[in-house]
A and B are shown apart, each in its own frame.
Chain A
Amino acid sequence: MRKLEIVVSLVLAGVSGPVWAGHAEDDWPEPVKSYRTGQILFDRLEVTRTDNDEDVLVWDMLAWYGSDRNRIYFKSEGENQKDDGEPTELESAEVLASRLIAPFWELQGGIGTRGSLASGAERENYLVFSLFGLAPYRFEMDNSITVNEDGDIAATIEAEYDLRLTQVSYLQPRLEVAAALTDAEAYDRPTGLNDIRVGLRYRYELSREFAPYIGAYWSRSLGDKADQIRAGGGDDSETGLVIGARIWF
């Protein structure tokens, strides 16, 4: 938590202290004040039915606070399989400081953790750097590199695209690719491409803030990771149906 405090204070230092640009008495208010705002966004909050008839609750959310140039982000993804007696699996929980470096791109850096939420479970802590923003053709992207305490380096790319069907409904293709730059045996991440997941969701906005959706996804493991799974008698690909909502406030 100490790290978090440092990050927060660093970011806010960058935000504060507007320079008064007019000629005025000291006790006059500023004609235009600086402002900060924030948002909590559940981009995906969904129930998944896999092709193995498992029901899984999945979340993918972020929250931010700050100005237009400097922000603090909290991002989290995870899932909990229903009735399997296992604890919730945290794919990521990250706190990042963010700086707008180009009109459509934020450079973000911070710390994160992932692993089982069971009490006493050993989680993987890591540093994370992200390039977060809007690519040409309006692809929403979150590209991250993580380095854990053992020095293992991993990278993920997430991209979404909103194809507008009507003023309030969208078809959203989604792509997620995970790769490891170094061999992280303890976390099942052999060097090379690890996983790919593609999804397609149809979303309908009841309001801008609340948009239920249905969709499907297909994921498979790749390279050495796929070999390892098959060697262990597992299935290296999965498909599923999802129902959920995109919610912000």
Chain B
Amino acid sequence: MEKPVEAGRRRFIKSALGAASALAMARMAPTWASPLGRSYSDVVNANPAVDLHIRRADMNIGGKVGRPITINGSMPGPLIRLKEGQRARLNVTNSLADDTSIHWHGIILPENMDGVPGVSFPGIKPGETFQYEYDVQQNGTYWYHSHSGLQEQLGHLGPLVIDPADGDIGADREHVIILSDWTFEDPHEVFRNLTVAEGYYNYQQRTLGDTFADIRRQGLAKTLEQRSMWNTMRMSSRDLLDVTGSTYTYLMNGRDNATNWTALYKPGEKVRLRIINGSAMSFFDFRIPGLEMVVVSADGQPIKPVTVDEFRIGVAETYDVIVTPKSDRPYTLFAESMDRSGYVRGTLATEVGQQAQVPDLRPVPERGMAAMGMSHDMDGMDMSSSKGDESGMGGQHEMHGDHGGGMAASQQRPSAPDLGIEHAPGGHGPAAAMIARNPVSRLNEPGVGLEDVDHRVLVYGDLIGAHPWPDEREPERDIELHLTGNMEKYMWSFDGVKFTEVDGPVEFNHGERLRLIMVNDTMMDHPIHLHGMWMELENGQYPRPRKHTISLKPSEVVSLQISADAPGSWAFHCHLLYHMKAGMFRVVNVS
């Protein structure tokens, strides 16, 4: 892999400055992210009310002074710890020059407490205090963030952990890890760059040299065929993330790599890590070299334990893992951006100051033909499955690079239902540059770049709910939505229609059980978030796992069961911040 010279130099400067400023940084970063974490015997401090103060402040980020939005003086904001069964009272005071808001991501609450300006409430004006108040009816790992403009990109976010009613966290100690992406550019400038200059932040595109390398590796005919497919579609197989490490400094609990956020453990302890992807635009691949992780919760909801070595976490998703480090040594907590343009690391150690070897970034992955929804007719051309074609895996959709994920499966993974989606090209107008010709379930694939790793990677097909959910009815009705985009013009939408162009909300009937079918007609991964209600993923497992945010791979179709039990208006959108800004947003009305 070639690295741009600029990026290398930038990284060097960053680390040189970063070391000098580590001390200053330690003062500025949130106090909750203490190396000691929280041990099981701690008492939950369920104060009657939590006051949150939102303001801009200068802060040292990776050796440079930025001006993030802070909450009670830190970025990310404070860890809010609630207890299942309590009544939450949260007073949010806005000291910004603009309106703000806080959305409690993944929390089931009344419509007017959901914190989406224009959908749940008018927003919080400068100088005003808004009182959020709701009953806490769930437990687990969640987070909160602004739903106003592009404030999330400025660090207006924080972790929210709810202890179970019985107080048992199932471990001896726990640490919260919130990942985020910081840029010193104005977020509006980032958005403009994306809209006027496609690929502005992508310094990992294919070059003439890659084409020559492909010819040497696989011959001229196959290379020409592949290049011709991508070029005819005017798309890039290296289009993985819109905003990359070329502008982002990735942060773990607000600390950069040089500052090395550290979590302490005692050998033999069971440690629960609550990992939250609070970034604006970055999918991360998370692993702890030398330590296996038992995933026990997804999006705050308990699942049957799955042992893995690595998992991909989409924007806004959360996973809880249990690790049991036996030997007295440091381990690197390694979160690599999906496009391999950068990473953030911390350390799980027995003493502050220790560090372990930091892995190299892996080569930039490339999307295969499966991304184009050509799996049925073009399977022989899927680059990612070149080694897996003969492996004898049965289903059509498993032919696409499933062998990496295949190793992760300790249990047999069933198939998701075949929904037989078909549609004609051109169906979504100029806002959709592509139609997935043959969308398939990709729940058993680990995702681009993880197909060939030699360890266990979590896939959605592994998730099994810890217990059944209360509503066991079969869905009465299907709603189908297509994820559409046009990278060239940076248009993102559902069904080819941006939020500002739609003529009304998506209607759910109150009390009904419905099936939401989503088809990804784009070349990007999208984390889709429904407010106010859970989505039970139809991955063929029972009990189904339930999620607040579901990531769709290119040309993938997924189906979700939803109980429309929350009357009111709810936001439904892609959680990639700039996709939402561009129009990939709908209102769901339950009435």
| Chain A residues within CB distance 8 Å of chain B | 18-19, 21-25, 27-35, 37-39, 68-69, 100-104, 134, 136-138, 163-168, 208, 248
Residues of B within 8 A of A166 (CB): 2, 207
| Alpha-carbon distance A68/B430, docked complex (angstroms) | 10
| Alpha-carbon distance A32/B233, docked complex (angstroms) | 29
| Alpha-carbon distance A163/B430, docked complex (angstroms) | 26
Instruction: Report the nearest A residue to B227, measured CB to CB.
Output: A137
| Alpha-carbon distance A29/B100, docked complex (angstroms) | 12
Q: Which of B192, B205, B502, B587 sits near A167, CB closer than 8 Å?
A: B205
Instruction: Report the nearest A residue to B433, measured CB to CB.
Output: A103
| Alpha-carbon distance A23/B571, docked complex (angstroms) | 11
Residues of B within 8 A of A102 (CB): 430
Interface centre among A30, A103, A136, A163 (most CB of B within 10 A): A103
Q: Are A32 and B499 in contact (CB under 8 A)?
A: yes
Residues of A within 8 A of B490 (CB): 68
B141 at the binding interface (Cβ < 8 Å): no
Instruction: Report the nearest A residue to B7, measured CB to CB.
Output: A167
Q: Are B581 and A69 in contact (CB under 8 A)?
A: no
Q: Which of B207, B234, B498, B499 sits near A104, CB closer than 8 Å?
A: B234
The 29 listed contacts between A and B (C-beta, < 8 Å) are: A21-B500, A21-B504, A22-B118, A22-B119, A23-B569, A25-B122, A28-B121, A30-B118, A31-B117, A31-B118, A32-B581, A39-B197, A68-B431, A68-B489, A100-B430, A103-B434, A103-B486, A136-B231, A136-B232, A136-B233, A136-B234, A137-B232, A137-B234, A164-B207, A164-B208, A165-B207, A165-B209, A167-B204, A167-B205
When each residue 277-297 of chain B gets 1 if its CB lies under 8 Å from chain A and 0 otherwise, what string results? 000000000000000000000
CB distance from A246 to the nearest CB of B (A): 11
Q: Are A19 and B502 in contact (CB under 8 A)?
A: yes
| Alpha-carbon distance A14/B559, docked complex (angstroms) | 36
B257 at the binding interface (Cβ < 8 Å): no
| Alpha-carbon distance A137/B2, docked complex (angstroms) | 24
CB distance from B409 to the nearest CB of A (A): 37
Q: Which of A28, A34, A103 sits near B122, CB closer than 8 Å?
A: A28
Q: Are A29 and B589 in contact (CB under 8 A)?
A: no
Known: A104-B488, A136-B232, A164-B208. A23 touches B200 (CB 8 A): no
Residues of A within 8 A of B488 (CB): 103-104, 134
Known: A37-B195, A104-B488. A24 touches B569 (CB 8 A): yes
Q: Are A208 and B432 in contact (CB under 8 A)?
A: no
Residues of A within 8 A of B569 (CB): 22-24
Residues of B within 8 A of A38 (CB): 196
CB distance from B92 to the nearest CB of A (A): 17
Instruction: Report the nearest B residue to A105, measured CB to CB.
Output: B430
Residues of B within 8 A of A23 (CB): 119, 505, 569, 587, 589
Q: Which of B200, B586, B589 sits near A208, CB closer than 8 Å?
A: B200
Residues of A within 8 A of B504 (CB): 21
B134 at the binding interface (Cβ < 8 Å): no
CB distance from B174 to the nearest CB of A (A): 34
20 additional contacts, CB 8 Å, given A24-B569, A68-B431, A68-B582?
Answer: A19-B500, A19-B501, A21-B587, A22-B119, A24-B119, A25-B122, A29-B99, A30-B118, A31-B587, A32-B500, A32-B581, A32-B585, A35-B191, A37-B192, A39-B197, A136-B231, A163-B208, A167-B4, A167-B205, A208-B197
Interface centre among B193, B430, B504 (most CB of A within 10 A): B430
Interface centre among B147, B486, B489, B503 (most CB of A within 10 A): B489
Q: Are B117 and A29 in contact (CB under 8 A)?
A: yes
Residues of A within 8 A of B459 (CB): none
Residues of B within 8 A of A30 (CB): 118, 500
| Chain B residues within CB distance 8 Å of chain A | 2, 4, 99, 116-119, 121-123, 147, 191-193, 195-197, 200, 203-209, 231-234, 430-434, 486, 488-491, 498-505, 569, 571, 580-583, 585-587, 589
Residues of A within 8 A of B196 (CB): 37-39, 248
Residues of B within 8 A of A165 (CB): 207-209
Residues of A within 8 A of B571 (CB): 31
Residues of B within 8 A of A33 (CB): 500
CB distance from B559 to the nearest CB of A (A): 24
Instruction: Report the nearest B residue to A103, measured CB to CB.
Output: B433
Known: A29-B117, A32-B585, A168-B4. A208 touches B207 (CB 8 A): no
Residues of A within 8 A of B116 (CB): 31
Q: Which of B432, B491, B503 sits near A21, CB closer than 8 Å?
A: B503
Instruction: Report the nearest B residue to A22, measured CB to CB.
Output: B587
Q: Are A28 and B234 in contact (CB under 8 A)?
A: no
Instruction: Report the nearest A residue to B232, measured CB to CB.
Output: A136
| Alpha-carbon distance A100/B488, docked complex (angstroms) | 12
Known: A32-B580, A136-B231. A18 touches B500 (CB 8 A): yes
Residues of B within 8 A of A248 (CB): 196-197
| Alpha-carbon distance A122/B431, docked complex (angstroms) | 43
CB distance from B303 to the nearest CB of A (A): 31
Residues of B within 8 A of A25 (CB): 122
Instruction: Report the nearest B residue to A41, measured CB to CB.
Output: B196
Q: Which of A32, A68, A134, A167 sits near B234, CB closer than 8 Å?
A: A134
CB distance from B506 to the nearest CB of A (A): 9
| Alpha-carbon distance A138/B433, docked complex (angstroms) | 13
Instruction: Report the nearest A residue to B197, measured CB to CB.
Output: A208
Interface centre among A28, A134, A165 (most CB of B within 10 A): A28
Instruction: Report the nearest B residue to A40, measured CB to CB.
Output: B196
| Alpha-carbon distance A137/B224, docked complex (angstroms) | 12
Residues of A within 8 A of B195 (CB): 37, 68
Q: Are B430 and A167 in contact (CB under 8 A)?
A: no
Interface centre among A21, A31, A33, A100 (most CB of B within 10 A): A31
Known: A136-B234, A167-B203. A32 touches B583 (CB 8 A): yes
Residues of A within 8 A of B585 (CB): 31-32
User: Which 10 A-B pairs rank lowest in CB-CB distance, beginning with the nearest?
Assistant: A22-B587, A31-B118, A18-B500, A103-B433, A34-B500, A21-B502, A68-B489, A39-B196, A23-B569, A167-B203
Residues of B within 8 A of A27 (CB): 122
Residues of B within 8 A of A19 (CB): 500-503
Q: Are B117 and A28 in contact (CB under 8 A)?
A: yes
Q: Are B489 and A100 in contact (CB under 8 A)?
A: yes
CB distance from A200 to the nearest CB of B (A): 14
Residues of B within 8 A of A24 (CB): 118-119, 569
Residues of A within 8 A of B434 (CB): 103
Instruction: Report the nearest A residue to B581, measured CB to CB.
Output: A32
| Alpha-carbon distance A100/B2, docked complex (angstroms) | 37
Residues of B within 8 A of A35 (CB): 191, 581
Residues of A within 8 A of B486 (CB): 68, 103
| Alpha-carbon distance A68/B121, docked complex (angstroms) | 29
Residues of B within 8 A of A22 (CB): 118-119, 505, 569, 587, 589
Interface centre among A22, A34, A68 (most CB of B within 10 A): A22
Residues of A within 8 A of B123 (CB): 28-29
Residues of A within 8 A of B589 (CB): 22-23
CB distance from B193 to the nearest CB of A (A): 7
Known: A28-B117, A28-B122, A68-B195. A167 touches B580 (CB 8 A): no
